[in-house]
Each structure stands twice: as structure tokens, then as C-alpha cells.
Amino acid sequence: MDNPFPPQRPSSPPTERSPSARGGVPLDQRLKKGRSVTLSPVTPGSPSGCSAQPGPSPEAAEGEARLPTAVCPALLEKVRGLGETERVCEKAGCNHSRMAETGQSSAMAENSAVAVAPTAAPTMLEELLEITAQSLVRTEVAEHYEVIRELGRGKYGHVMLVTHRQRGTPMALKLLPKASTKLHTFLYEYCVALSLATHPAIIGMFGIAIESSQYYGFLYEPAMHKDLISIIKPRDGIPEPAAKHCAKQLVSALEFIHSRGLVYRDVKPENVLLFDPECRRIKLTDFGLTRPKGTKLKLVAGVIPYTAPELSNTTDAQGVPIDASMDAWAFGVLLFCLLTGYFPWEQSLPNDPFFEDFMLWQETGLEENLPRHWKRLTAEAALMLRSLLALDPAKRGPVGGALRYVDCPWRQDEGHGEKAAVKP
């Protein structure tokens, strides 16, 4: 079966809401009406993300990527809380005194993983931004890297598979055109990703940021099995064990991000990279939309299935402060897609018939009000999603709440579980 279309482009529901048509939007049909969402901070000049997604990486790229640092560990000490600076610098083979004076990078010198402090307050990101700007490598891509092929392309940029000319290391190179990308936009996404990269379910960074004549770019480990959207079968989903593998790792990654005082804001299958076909090892990528908790956002365009209703319905000109509950909502939508092969709705607005059905079931919990495709779920899975998708963000369960259900059956067709009727 052909790969489904990306979830931000779901199909429109039928105009006649017959019982056979209610309950979800197939992933393999395009959106005929409506637009994607663009949520921007109220403060002008802030960065936006790149929707280019890494595709398959070469089979030769086996094992964990080693992470050379592009910024001297000594300069990062106060930003990331590194201890034993001299030992780290010696391991990296860099001359931090010379680098501090010249702004040069030791990225090409030696492989070395950079430790990350237990907490990374948003204010520290500004310091990391300044440090990275001073050590940005100015070079043309072809000088140090051989381009193999394009892995993905989106509105804001594209991703290339490259190899280092001297070491032969395969890497994914994300390129953002300088003509349409502010330096701060690029540096912000790079620094956020770098500050989170030590988590096992977040994409590893090579710590190399470059500026060419036409592009800003940074390098990260290439995925070996495309992304999560590539394995979701429309009207079917993915095997339940794979869905549970994804759930556990995404919970860990999102909780890690939230512990740093950040909200990811871009939970969707395209941003989940696969490192094996069964989803035993996945990694979250693309941090262009990640913002500190409390950042106020305003709605400037339409909505997508992953957008929480408090954002879809807002009329507040001052913007809506973001928090982790918005990631929980998007995570719930993603899990529904994995288990059914459908979107639960096109947009979380009362005029969406699928969302209207869902609201009725949320309010009553009665089996007779259960939308059609939700009936494929067990009572345990429905309870899990009902918590993650609570209409009131104050009552919405955290992403970690999903872990209470991983030992329970999630699908009726797995031969286990009770009907998905959940009493309020």
C-alpha cells in the first residue's frame, strides 16, 4: 500500500454524516478544505521550524552516531553546567583558549560527546545562541561534505544525506536558505536541538553548525528507516506492539523536554524518525517550533488535527500561553492515528462533525455516543486517549499517563479487552 499523506493534510469528512462515515478521517486522502496551522509567538522576529523531514539513511550507517562538538566545551561550561572542563577539552582535542579568542571550532578535530546539564533553563539558551553565533563555521558544503542525495524537503528548507570527505561519516544535513531564514531563527532551532540531544529518544547532533554563501545548516545523525508516517497504513494503523514502543519512547522524550521548561509544539508522525522497522528505537526531531513554557502564541492561520482546542478557538489578541498540555493533546491524536489509520477529526472546532461527535462522547462517556472508529479501541485505550484529549486543558492528563496503559490491550481486533465505553 502506498504511503499515507502527511497528517497535516487530512481528508475532508463526507457532507452527509451517515453512521458508516462518522468517526474519523482516513490518512490517505488529502484535505480539500481548510489550511494548516501557523502558531507564532506574539513577540516578533522569533524563529519558525523547517518541515523538511529526513528520509532513509544508508545501511552502512550502523550503530550510534559519534558526536563531535562544534563549540568548545570550555565556552559551554556556564551554559550547560559542564564539570571538569579541562578533561573534556583534552578529550575533544581542542585548544579552548585559542578558540575563545578566534571563535574557531574544533568540530573537525576529534569525536566527543558533549554532556548536557540536568536542567537547561530557557534563559541559558540565549547564552548558547550567542556562543554558537561566535563559533559558526563559515564554509561551503562541498568543501567538507559529499552530497549523496536529498532526504526531504519542506516549506522552510531541505535535508540532505552527506558524508564527511575525510572520515566518510554519514550525516543528515539540514539546510535553511539564508534568503528566507533569519540567523536567530536558525541558531535557535540548532541550539534547542543541541541542548536536548543526549536523550536516547531525541535525535543525536554532531554539534556542527555551518554558514555557506546561500544556507545555514547543521548536521545530525541520519535515520535508517524513514519516519513514522511512512509505516502508518491508512484505515489500519501500525501493529499494536509497535504503537506501544512508540508511546513509551515519545513519553520519555516529551517529559525530558518539559523538564527543561520547554514545550515541543510539533508532535506528529513526520517528526518521529525510525531506526528499526518495529519502532523499538525511534527519535524525535525538528525543534523549530519548540518554545519556553508560558510563551504566548496567536492563531494566524487555520488549524490541523494536532492543534489543541484552546488554540483552535482562541480569539485572544494577546495570545495564548503554551504549556505541556498542548503536547499531551497532540500526542493523543498521534496515538489515535497509530491505532486506527485515521485522524479523529480534521480540526478541533465545534463545526467539525467528527470533533462534534467526539465532544459528545467526552461529555457522556456512553457507548452509544462513541464515534465509529473509536469502537476499534478497548476500554483501556479509550480511557487513555480520553485523558490525553480532555477538552479542558486543566483536566488534561500528562503525556506520562499513557504509561499506565501500556500493559493493557489497546485494540479490539487483538482479541482482548472490553468495549470502549467509558463512564464519566
pTM of the model: 0.74
Known catalytic residue at 266: yes
pLDDT at 130 over 50: yes
Give the model's pLDDT for residue 414.
58
pLDDT tens-digit series, residues 327-359: 999 999 999 999 999 999 999 999 999 999 999
pLDDT bin (cut points 50, 70, 90) of residue 3 is very low
Give the model's pLDDT for residue 23.
59
Measured distance CA(357)–CA(360) in Å, rounded: 5
Catalytic residue among 266, 323, 327, 352: 266
How many CA atoms lie within 13 Å of 167's alpha carbon, on the beta-carbon side?
14
CB neighbourhood size of 395 (10 A): 9
Average pLDDT along the chain: 76
pLDDT bin (cut points 50, 70, 90) of residue 313 is confident
Q: Which domains, and CATH codes, for the chain?
A: 25-43+225-414 (1.10.510.10), 73-220 (3.30.200.20)
Give the model's pLDDT for residue 307.
93
Q: Could you tell me the three cell numbers for 152? A: 526531504
- Phi, psi (degrees; rounded to nearest 5) at 155: -65, -35
Segment holding 392, helix H or strand E: none
Q: Would you call 153 exposed, middle or buried from its count of C-beta atoms within 10 A (0-12, 13-18, 19+)?
A: middle
pLDDT bin (cut points 50, 70, 90) of residue 315 is confident
Give the model's pLDDT for residue 207.
93
423 is in an annotated binding site: no
Give the model's pLDDT for residue 189.
96
In the chain, count H helices and then E strands.
Answer: 11, 15
Q: Quick one: CA dihedral 325, 327, 333, 335, positive or negative? A: negative
Residue 371: left if φ>0, alpha if ψ -120 to 50, beta else—which one?
beta
Q: Could you tell me the three cell numbers for 187? A: 541558531
Residue 344: left if φ>0, alpha if ψ -120 to 50, beta else—which one?
alpha
Measured distance CA(196)–CA(128) in Å, rounded: 13
pLDDT tens-digit series, residues 72-116: 444 344 334 433 333 333 333 333 333 333 333 333 222 222 323
